[in-house]
Structure 1
Amino acid sequence: MFGGPPPQLSAAEIRAQEDEANLTMQKVIVGAVLLYLSPFAIDVVKKLV
């Protein structure tokens, strides 16, 4: 609306953004799995000690 459309991105810039998005999604998935498994790991450690 103000200032016109944004400039077109090059193929390399689009690829870099896609790679960054994929890495971010992988980090989110790994973090979610670790948070899900952490209570079980804490329980195992408590039983060992």
Structure 2
Amino acid sequence: MAKLPTTENTEIFTMRISPKLKGKLNQLAKQSKYGGSASAAIRILIERAYSNI
């Protein structure tokens, strides 16, 4: 098994979503403000939601 890179993003989050929702997530991720990947989009959305609390 390959060693994970050392970064601040080392936690693993697993979520079950429908194929339709996965497609929407991937479309969001393609937008430049969401970082280009589904993982980055989720991180950004969580941070934005947290800052509004």
Pick 1 or 2: higher relative contact order, CA cutoff 8 A, min separation 6. 2
Larger-gyration structure (1/2): 1
Answer yes or no: same fold by TM over 0.5. no
With normalisation by structure 2, the TM-score equals: 0.34
Structure having the larger proportion of residues in helix: 1
TM-score (normalizing by structure 1)? 0.37
